[in-house]
Amino acid sequence: MPLVAASLHLFEEYVWPGGFPDWYRRYKPARAHRLTRGFFLAGNSLLLGVCCAVGFLRSMPFIRLVWLGLAALLATNAIWHLIGSLKTRSYSPGVVTGLVLYVPMAAFGWIQVLR
């Protein structure tokens, strides 16, 4: 689930409709000099790598906690996009998939843990 959700989220950010790096530079201009192509590539590669690892290691007893932590991190990203959209009064590429996929996925995980 996290790999599919993250892939769709990245598609929204960078392909369709895309434009996330430019939006982020406008949202946080003080950080613009650090928001390089390499920064985005490294961060998103790490994210996809962790998502893959969670899938490959799904039979390990500890992986449920890792999955839950990853889902919580992704849901936090969705909230960050929402706050950014509200503050800038503009569409943050990634806000839709974040709210539609990441938040319910994290809620599902917490429901499973609490059961």
| Residue in the structure block whose two tokens are 């709210």 | 99
Mean pLDDT, rounded, of the chain: 95
pLDDT over 90 (residue 115): no
Model pLDDT for residues 31-45, shown as the tens digit of each residue: 999 999 999 999 999
Domain enclosing residue 86, as ranges: 2-114
Measure the CA–CA gap between 100 and 79, rounded to whole angstroms: 11
Instruction: Specify the pLDDT at position 94.
Output: 98
Model pLDDT for residues 48-57, shown as the tens digit of each residue: 999 999 999 9
Instruction: Specify the pLDDT at position 22.
Output: 96
- pTM over cut 0.85: yes
Domains held by the chain: number: 1
Model pLDDT for residues 74-100, shown as the tens digit of each residue: 999 999 999 999 999 999 999 999 999
Measure the CA–CA gap between 106 and 108, rounded to whole angstroms: 5
